[in-house]
Structure 1
């Protein structure tokens, strides 16, 4: 998904948010339950953009139907290097309705979990404010 990739690479988080469907479901590599909704997904992605260092997409894969995509990336969290993949599904309007992220190795996932966990209260407050302003 070229528009998502370009927005992420440019650090344009407003453009990333504009690509999300209201009912998007975000599945984190370090959380048990998925996060439903645009507000929480946008807030998580904003926090991740601060946590990941040296982030770069390396490859883009297309599922062939135009609705399924995978973006392979590398990044660093503190001293831990990691690689991962954003799995993206588009709804009938071309908006992202599913975003699943996977990362490896375990040490990288643990560093990501710790960094995001330390920010979770802030993420939840931002999502609540986004949700309230969208209503």
Structure 2
């Protein structure tokens, strides 16, 4: 943890506080202003896809903000130019919690974002909601529809398992 007196004034802290505020407002344009040109976003859903570049990561945030409701963030933790904060939100009425890891360059621009999501039903609902939207934007409606067909059954199965399996524990 860095010096607490430095947390609110460092370039990374200013950027992450602006990111949190933009997220709570659902403002993708404000996020764009915080990103380095070569930013990389690591998905919570797969290691097979990383979103790269300011334009793509900005578009992804617009998609994210379109599917999340009631997004609320926590105060960040700091180590050097890296910050971590949590957020809670709902997607299709299902609660989720996430941890964001944010790395900034010396100018305070975000160079890397990694997000981890829990619980499993929240992640499954996000997985059934966000990839079809992103796929439609990037590859067209037919592939977006295919993504929806492939992801929705997983969400149903995981929601059902989440309701039933704890009764067996």
Query: TM-score, normalized by length of structure 2?
Result: 0.68
Residues 1:35 and 2:51 are matched in the alignment: yes
The structure carrying a bigger helix percent of its residues is 2
- 1:18 maps to which of 8, 33, 46: 33
Question: Quick check: 1:71 aligned with 2:85?
Answer: yes
What's the counterpart of residue 9 of structure 1?
A: 24
Question: Larger strand proportion, structure 1 or 2?
Answer: 1
Stretches of structure 1 that go unaligned for 5 or more consecutive residues are: 126-135
Please show how residues 106-125 of structure 1 align to structure 2 within 5 Å: 106-124=120-138
| 1:7 counterpart SS class | helix
* Structure 2 residues without counterparts, runs of 5 or longer: 1-15, 140-169
Matches for 1:61-100 after TM superposition, within 5 Å: 61-63=77-79, 65=80, 67-100=81-114
Residues 101-120 of structure 1: CA deviation (Å, up to 9, x unaligned) = 11001111111011012202
**For residue 52 of structure 1, what is the aligned residue in structure 2?**
68
Cα offsets for 1:87-130 (capped at 9, x unmatched): 100012210000111100111111101101220234326xxxxx
Determine which structure has greater relative contact order: mean sequence separation of CA pairs < 8 Å that are 6+ residues apart, divided by chain length.
Answer: 1
Q: What is the Cα-based RMSD across aligned positions, in Å? A: 1.4
* TM-score normalised over the length of structure 1: 0.84
